Structures are given as C-alpha cells and as structure tokens.
Structure 1
Amino acid sequence: MDSKSNRALYLQVEADIRNDIMQKKYLPGEKLPTETEMCKIYNVSKITIRKAFELLTKNGLVERSRGRGTFVKLNKEKVSLGATQGFNQFLEKTGHSIKNNILSTKLTKADPFLAEKLQIQLEAPVINIQRLMWDDEVPIATDSFFAAAENYPGLLDEINSFGSLYDLLEKKYKVTAYRSKIEFSGIIAKPELADLLHCYTGDPLFVLDKLSYTKNDEVIHFSTSTIRCDRVNYVINVSGQGKINGIELG
C-alpha cells in the first residue's frame, strides 16, 4: 500500500481486493483470508481491513457470515423451472463457463421404480451416468442420469467432461426434448455431499426429478439433480390463461 497516497489506506485495500475478485484470484463462493491474514498481506491495521471489508460488502462483492468468515458473493442465476433444455445448456447460453466431472458410468438393470419412469420392462438394461457439474469453477450440482440402454447404443463411450448430454442426444441420436415433467423438493447437505459441492453440512439444496419426453411423448430420460440453493433461483411463469411456462393446467 502507498502510505504517501492521498487515498485512504482502506480504499486502497478495498480496490486491490476488488481487483483480485474481478481477476478471479478469489472465486465466487470462496472464503477470503481472515482479517488477521489480510493485515499481514497488506501490512495495515485491523481497522483498515475491517473498513475495506465493510465497503466491499456495501458494494455487493462479498458477504460476511458470523463465525464463518467473509466470502466472495455468489450471483444466483434465474432458471426457468419449465425449461426443456439441460442445465448446462441454459447456463452456457447466459455466458457461464461450464464443465462436468464424470463421477461414474455404468449399465444397470431397471428396478420397479426405473421401469415405471422409463416405460421399459423390469430388469431391462439402463444407462446410468453420474456427474458433478461446475459453474464458473465452482461445483454447483450433482446429476444422476438414467436412460434405456437400447435407445442409445454407445452412449457411455461418447460422454465426456465438457459436452452437454442434451447436445449429444440431439446430434448422435436425433432425439430432442419437447416437454419435461419436474418434481421439485429440498434436502439439507450431509457431510459427503457437502464435501462434493464445496458447501457446508446442513446447507439447503434443491432436488429436481426430471422426466423428458419427445414430441411423440416417448420418454427420453429420467434424472435426479441436487443443486446448491445459493447458486440458483428457480422461476415459474404463470399466465392469466391458466398456463405455467406455456403449459395448460387442468
């Protein structure tokens, strides 16, 4: 810091931290160094750091949590609950950097639940793909995808960490989602899931069970996604004609 500058030290510190946030040195949701650590980094007093943090908070760049620390603020994305496109597709279209970690891929057999959801015979082969989804370098959701294996030969050999499953189904198998049925609920993060999503044990999470259909009303897939509530808001558009997201009710 420049002690000879006409700018107050806390303003210089605030500007430097703000620049680090903009340059992605500190990522959305990441905890900043403590006040004591910042004092050592900038060689200033705690009062100076505290005033810098207060200004960053006022400007909406960070948020402070008693007992937990100061975190780079997350900008929550608004997602239409009735969207037929995949989560990755939606976020990519809004300018986000998306990637997926493939946690597991396997062939399994349809139990009564999956047989009913996918409209296939009991014990018919089923593709299961489990992914960890990242948004702008932050883990945002887990997703477990199920589909009838006979409909998508070779799918497990094609899946990768960067592509959208919906794009792959459209390009390779000429399958396009026409409508989706979504069941929406919530849970709290248990330790294993909290570690995976880089959140805290007990944090609230959205759970979305989704069935996608073709225009001919054939099931494309069933999936269950668990999503951080601090990263996403879900929006339902209701019209005066008794429609939700363009779908007639009743």
Structure 2
Amino acid sequence: MLQEYRNRPRDEAAEKIESYIAQHNLKPGNKLPSERDMSEMWGINRMTLRGAIQGMIFEGKLYNRKGSGTFVAYPKLNRNLQDLKPFSAAVKEEGKTLQTVLLSREIIESTKQLSGKLCIKLGHPVLAITRKRIVDDEPVMIEVTHMDYERFPKLMDYDFGKESLYHIIENVYGTLITEGTEKLSVTFANEREAGLLEIEEGTPLFNLSGVVKDADGIPIEYFKSVARVDKIRFSSMLTR
C-alpha cells in the first residue's frame, strides 16, 4: 500500500505564508508580520518558519531588508546568461531604474589567478573596480571588475556611478566586446555583502564569474559578482 504523502513542516509553513499574502491582498513591497507573530499565529516552530521564509526568498516570492523585516517580492529582473549587453541596458529594457554606486577603484598587482584570466604577466598592473547595482531603489548586485590597466588607463578618470563601462570600452577605446564565458553557482552572503545588499548574513546569493573578450579573443575583463536571488532571474537558451 502506498503511504499517504505529507508535506514537510517547512512546506506547510510556506503554504500558510502564501495564504496570508492572498487573504490580506498583500502587494509587492508590503511587509509580512514578524517571525514571532507568524509563529504564534499559526503555532509553528520559529526555526521551521525561518526555513520556509528562506526557501521563499530563494524562489523570489519574498525578500528580507536588514533590520526591517520580510516583504512580498517584486517581479525579478531577467538576465540571459548568453547575452553580453551591459547590465544598464538590460535594466532599461525591463522598464526598471538603475543606480550604480562606485565602491572602490584601485590599481593592484596581478596575482597568479588574474594573470591566467587576463593573459598578462604576474605583477602586471590591474585596474580593479567594485560597484554596487541598485535597481528600483533596492540593492541587487555587487560587481568586481579586473582589467589590464596599461591597456585601459583612461578608465581611472571616468565616473562609473554615471557612465557605462562597456560603453567607454567600445566608444572611447574602439574595442568591440564579442564573446565571453560565465559560470553561475550559489553562495551565501558574508558580513560585508549582507551589509551592502541590505540582507541578512547567510542569505543565498548567485555567484557569477567570467571573462569577456574582444574580436581577437584577447581578454578585456575578468569579473566576479554576487547577486540577490530574490531580485534577479538567470536564464539560457538550450539548442541541439
């Protein structure tokens, strides 16, 4: 005889949350009751409830704002993994607003890893740019870009809070961005990332890294990014 299927406690807690959202007609950006209040309301263990909330955050149904609570999520920004268009262009196409905060810009010596990614000598000067991306007034991504400084020295002079890096590369230097490779995995926010993205430490994040090349196959950029799973959806076209 087949055993009767039963939802896990975490799944039942998620169903309670979804029912609450529907019954109270909550909209994107509306706040849920506190974990304590929901736990008492439904007689659910707080650890179970917390697990349900984390699962719904990963699915893009909820999001946490550090120090403020849990909210109903807005529709995610769609990003095609096979698309080399600038992040700013992708955000604009979705009808969303973008702010970019320049966190740091410095010249460092190439490490063994950077030398391999950018095809430059060990110790070669590298321009490292760190930016925070804010979409519709919510921080969604931290990007770290590494480039050959001797090839692109003028990049020290531009305001990347206002200007597109790819636009400058193509229109100032005349370098066409034609191909690249990208890896996608999942990580968890450390203390610094959590603070910058206004989420709780340990929240799941997308972890992206890759190399962008010019028409001659020469590396232009090695990038590493972390992005909020409740704000961005990545997709790819499958062919045979």
Q: TM exceeds 0.5?
A: yes
Output aligned runs, 1:1-250, within 5 Å. 54-57=23-26, 62=30, 64=32, 67=35, 69=69, 71-239=71-239, 241=240
Q: Which amino acid aligns with 1:169?
A: I
| Structure 2 counterpart of 1:39 | none
Q: Give the TM-score of the pair, scaled to structure 1.
A: 0.70
Contact kept, 8 Å, 2:28 with 2:72, in 1: the verdict is no
| Structure 2 counterpart of 1:16 | none
Q: Taking every aligned residue pair, what percent have the same amino acid on both sides?
A: 24
Instruction: State the alpha-carbon separation in 2 of the partners of residues 176 and 89 from structure 1.
Output: 16
Distance 1:96 1:147, change over 3 A: same
- Structure 1: 5+ residue stretches without partners: 1-50, 242-250
Instruction: After TM superposition, give the deviation of residue 86 of structure 1 in Å.
Output: 2.5
Distance 1:127 1:60, change over 3 A: closer
In terms of Rg, which structure is larger? 1
Instruction: Write the deviation string for residues 132-186 of structure 1: whole angstroms up to 9, x where unpaired.
Output: 1111111111010000011112111113312221112111111221111001111
Instruction: State the alpha-carbon separation in 2 of the partners of residues 211 and 177 from structure 1.
Output: 11
| Structure 1 counterpart of 2:42 | none
Q: Which amino acid aligns with 1:181?
A: T
Contact kept, 8 Å, 2:181 with 2:211, in 1: the verdict is yes
Instruction: After TM superposition, give the deviation of residue 191 of structure 1 in Å.
Output: 2.4
Distance 1:63 1:167, change over 3 A: same
Instruction: Write the deviation string for residues 87-123 of structure 1: whole angstroms up to 9, x where unpaired.
Output: 2221122222111111111011111100000001111
Contact kept, 8 Å, 1:85 with 1:177, in 2: the verdict is no
Instruction: After TM superposition, give the deviation of residue 66 of structure 1 in Å.
Output: 5.7
Instruction: After TM superposition, give the deviation of residue 200 of structure 1 in Å.
Output: 1.5
Distance 1:62 1:111, change over 3 A: same
Contact kept, 8 Å, 1:98 with 1:162, in 2: the verdict is no
Q: Which amino acid aligns with 2:85?
A: Q
The residue matched to 1:206 in structure 2 has which SS? Answer: strand
Distance 1:134 1:61, change over 3 A: closer
Instruction: Write the deviation string for residues 200-227 of structure 1: whole angstroms up to 9, x where unpaired.
Output: 2221000110210112111111010110
Instruction: After TM superposition, give the deviation of residue 190 of structure 1 in Å.
Output: 2.0
The residue matched to 2:25 in structure 1 has which SS? Answer: helix
Instruction: State the alpha-carbon separation in 2 of the partners of residues 72 and 92 from structure 1.
Output: 23
Instruction: State the alpha-carbon separation in 2 of the partners of residues 159 and 238 from structure 1.
Output: 37
Instruction: After TM superposition, give the deviation of residue 74 of structure 1 in Å.
Output: 1.9
Distance 1:64 1:133, change over 3 A: same
Distance 1:52 1:128, change over 3 A: closer
Paired residue total: 189
Contact kept, 8 Å, 2:28 with 2:74, in 1: the verdict is no
Q: Give the TM-score of the pair, scaled to structure 2.
A: 0.73
Instruction: Write the deviation string for residues 3-25 of structure 1: whole angstroms up to 9, x where unpaired.
Output: xxxxxxxxxxxxxxxxxxxxxxx
Instruction: Write the deviation string for residues 4-49 of structure 1: whole angstroms up to 9, x where unpaired.
Output: xxxxxxxxxxxxxxxxxxxxxxxxxxxxxxxxxxxxxxxxxxxxxx
Higher RCO (Cα < 8 Å, 6 or more apart) = 2
Instruction: Write the deviation string for residues 29-74 of structure 1: whole angstroms up to 9, x where unpaired.
Output: xxxxxxxxxxxxxxxxxxxxxx9983323x6664737618552422
Instruction: State the alpha-carbon separation in 1 of the partners of residues 28 and 91 from structure 2.
Output: 22
